[in-house]
Amino acid sequence: MCNSLLKSKIPVAVAIAALFAIEAASGAERLPAYGANLSETSVSGLSSGAAMALQFHVAHSGVVKGAGIIAGVPYDCAEQSSNRATGNCMKPDAAHPVPYPAHLTDITDSLARSGAIDDVANLNDARVWLFSGRKDGVVLPVVMDAARDYYSFYVPPDRIVYRNDIGAGHAMVTEDYGDKDCAATKAPFIVDCDFDAAKALLEQIYGPLNPPSAQPSGKYVEFDQKEFLPNGNPYNHSLSDVGYAYVPHACALETCRVHVALHGCKQQAAQIGDAFYKNAGYNRWADTNHIIVVYPQTISRWGWGWPFYTLNFVWNPNACWDWWGYDNAEHHTKKGPQIAAIRAIVDRLATKP
């Protein structure tokens, strides 16, 4: 495939032109520093975003206070196999069972001993909220059962909440936004189930919350993600040039904490606009509870990347986060390019202005 691409001058020219167009189109600002409290960082996500949220939590458990996992998978479930990802880790059956959590904890413990991820003892203090929709046909509920069992090896039971009693499809669940059919599984993958998942997970992580604002009154920041990649090239790692953050007005003057909210597959802003980063349910709670919500972004990618000196092949047409190794074999560790980029974003927000 590489040879045929390089021999064809027209596709190469088009690819290079498209890359420069992507660069030129980005008018995003440099992500500001706000002096946020790093030890109060938390993360959540839907679908591949949930898988990445769990990976990020385990990899950086020294600073991540808690996690909200909606329709996700256990840590390193796929073990670098796309077939295992789509079978055992999404729609398991008798021939392709969900991986045993004890096996995945053996992998986790080994990585912790090597220093590839933080000490798993940190997870003893974590707070975790898990959700599986009863009508989810994309990531079957039994997979989320395994995610709960995985966490149970490290997190005390009184610090884990698992909701699997709502007839939701494969989607972000809200109280009053999205498809009125709670069981729907279609773009933008946000459903109105008369249940506020964002509130529930934030409250599990941080404790009782102040009442939300009537409407978000803070600032939306479109920021440059390029600077958070070592080579300044997010495209090579299926990341967008831009990410988004919601910053309550109070955070300009007072210390806030950071919550990382990770969209699912086919849910990036390039495909569904602002539906997730404005309407997933986090921002009104962030307003009144000193929380900066950051929404990193992926892109759809398939084929060879550029520039020439960093050629790599990535197959990610649905803009999923990397939880099976499509970009990098260390995707689930602190060295994983996407995890490292998210950590760098959090560190910027925690830097003193």
**Residue type at 284 in one-letter notation:** R
Distance CA(49)–CA(283), nearest Å, equals 18
* Residue 211, preceding peptide bond in cis (omega within 30° of 0): no
DSSP, res 223: E
CA distance 117 to 134: 33
Question: How far apart, in whole angstroms, are the C-alpha atoms of residue 36 and residue 53?
Answer: 19
Find out whether 323 and 77 touch, Cβ atoms under 8 Å.
yes
Instruction: Decide if 125 is catalytic.
Output: no
44, 48, 76, 170: the catalytic one is 170
Question: Of 136, 196, 241, 287, which is the active-site residue?
Answer: 136
113: helix, coil or strand? helix
Structure tokens of 28?
């995003």
Catalytic option among 44, 47, 61, 238: 47
Residues in the chain: 353
- Under 8 Å CB-to-CB from 315, ≥6 apart: which residues? 301, 302, 303, 326
Respond yes or no: is residue 136 known to be catalytic: yes
Q: What is the rounded distance in angstroms from the CA atom of residue 255 to the CA atom of residue 242?
A: 25
Residue 96 CA, chain-centre distance (Å), reads: 26
CA distance 92 to 79: 15
Query: 3-state class of 152 per DSSP?
Result: helix
Bridge partner residues of 46 (DSSP):
70
Helix axes 101-114, 141-152, angle to 10 degrees: 50
Q: Check if 47 is active-site.
A: yes
For residue 82, the one-letter residue type is S
Q: Which string of b and e fits 228-266 if b means at least 16 CB within 10 Å?
A: bbeeebbbbbbbbbbbbbbbbebbeeeebbbbbbbbbbb
Q: Which residues are part of the catalytic machinery?
A: 47, 136, 170
